[in-house]
Amino acid sequence: MNELPDNLKYAKTHEWAKLEDDNLVRVGITDFAQAELGDLVFIELPKIGRQVKTGEQCSVVESVKTASDLYSPVSGEVVSVNELLNDAPEQVNDDAYTSWLFCIKADNPSELDALMDADAYREMIEG
């Protein structure tokens, strides 16, 4: 398994989140999640402008094996999506930590404190 980046926060539902400038939270799925799913064939990204709540289902990834819901790690507004994934969802399989899915302008970035750090996430998936 690839090393887990220490600068990210991790959800029990296998999303990663990275806090950037101006309360922007970049979201993707973990390497563990993409490996479990297998080859991704489609990603349903949330609509720009959508208001989401922490833990709300907001996106779907489909692989040759199954479909899996993705959940927002924070409350806020979806302000951008990675359009490149519409034509090339396999980029997430190639590098899960550079292939972000969407960005949320967080209402309260401290909600990220409820997520796991890399060590806690590693313990969960290896446990």
- Res 2: pLDDT: 56
Contact 71, 13 (CB under 8 A): yes
- Res 116: pLDDT: 98
- Res 52: pLDDT: 98
Work out the average pLDDT over 6-33. 97
Between the alpha carbon of residue 4 and those of residues 7, 71, 114, 119, the distances in Å are 9, 20, 18, 8
Tell me which fold the domain 9-122 belongs to.
Answer: OB fold (Dihydrolipoamide Acetyltransferase, E2P) (2.40.50)
- Res 127: pLDDT: 86
Task: Dump pLDDT digits (tens) for 95-125.
Answer: 999 999 999 999 999 999 999 999 999 999 9
Task: Dump pLDDT digits (tens) for 83-99.
Answer: 999 999 999 999 999 99
Contacts of 69 (CB under 8 A, 6+ apart): 13, 57, 59, 60
Between the alpha carbon of residue 75 and those of residues 51, 52, 127, the distances in Å are 7, 5, 29
- Res 110: pLDDT: 97
Q: Where are the domains of the chain?
A: 9-122
Q: How confident is the model at residue 3 (pLDDT cuts 50, 70, 90)?
A: confident
